[in-house]
Amino acid sequence: MKRIGIILGGGILLAIVLFAWWVISRPERGTTGSVSTHFHLLGPNDKIVIDGFDDPKVQGVACHISRAQTGGMKGELGVAEDTSDASIACRQVGPIKIVGEIKDGERVFDEHRSLVFKKLQVVRFFDRERNVLVYVAYSDRVIEGSPKNSISTVPIMGWPAP
């Protein structure tokens, strides 16, 4: 019996550590806003949340991503699995300056969509032939991902001097 108590205690401790890691590792982006989509009597409502972020290696590009966020008690406790629905829009907001080497398929944004197994990601590609940056938002899982995706392109153009 004592051995079972130790195993259960260790499992609970592991769950607490994983939950704390998940909360701490969630990236803080500039939340632009949100809209409620479904009322819950207990816990927060389901929402569409819009965050803005900058490409870390390409100055002068800003992106906004919208995605579903599950509410209710599961959402409140952080154990809900959000859907794979997401949309992205990226635009040139200043002179474009590439900082360092950029690689096709390089991750520029990620966020956990469930406690452990699901992640929303944005990756960047550079279409050299057309001189365009391409951003793709998609969701993946450890075992099985989703074909749902969204794409945005940013042509690299001159920026008028102030």
- pLDDT tens per residue across span 28-46: 467 888 788 877 788 777 8
Q: Which residues contact 33 (CB under 8 A, 6 or more apart)?
A: 49, 50
In DSSP terms, 61 is beta-bridged to: 92
Give per-residue pLDDT as tens, 116-157: 667 888 999 999 999 999 999 998 866 666 788 999 999 999
Average pLDDT over residues 3-20: 54
Q: Taking the CA atoms of the chain, what radius of gyration do you get in angstroms?
A: 19
Q: Is 131 in contact with 156 (CB distance < 8 Å)?
A: yes
- A 10 A CB-CB count for 131 gives 10
Residue 38 lies in a domain: yes
Nearest 5°: CA angle at 146, between 144 and 151? 140
Number of domains making up the chain: 1
Residue 14 lies in a domain: no
Model confidence at 16: pLDDT above 60: no
Residue 98 lies in a domain: yes
Residue 161 lies in a domain: no
Q: How confident is the model at residue 1 (pLDDT cuts 50, 70, 90)?
A: low
Integer Cα distance of 27 and 81 in angstroms = 17
Average pLDDT, the chain: 79
Average pLDDT over residues 154-162: 86
Q: What are phi and psi of 7, to 5 degrees?
A: -65, -45
Q: Is 113 in contact with 29 (CB distance < 8 Å)?
A: no
Give per-residue pLDDT as tens, 89-126: 999 999 999 998 999 999 998 877 666 667 888 999 99
Integer distance in angstroms from the first to the last C-alpha of the chain? 75
Residue 18 lies in a domain: no
- The per-residue pLDDT for 126 is 96
Domain that holds residue 96: 29-155
| 84 three-class SS | coil
Does this model's pTM top 0.85? My answer is no
Residue 37 lies in a domain: yes
Residue 15 lies in a domain: no
- A 10 A CB-CB count for 122 gives 23
Q: What are phi and psi of 72, to 5 degrees?
A: 70, -170
Residue 36 lies in a domain: yes
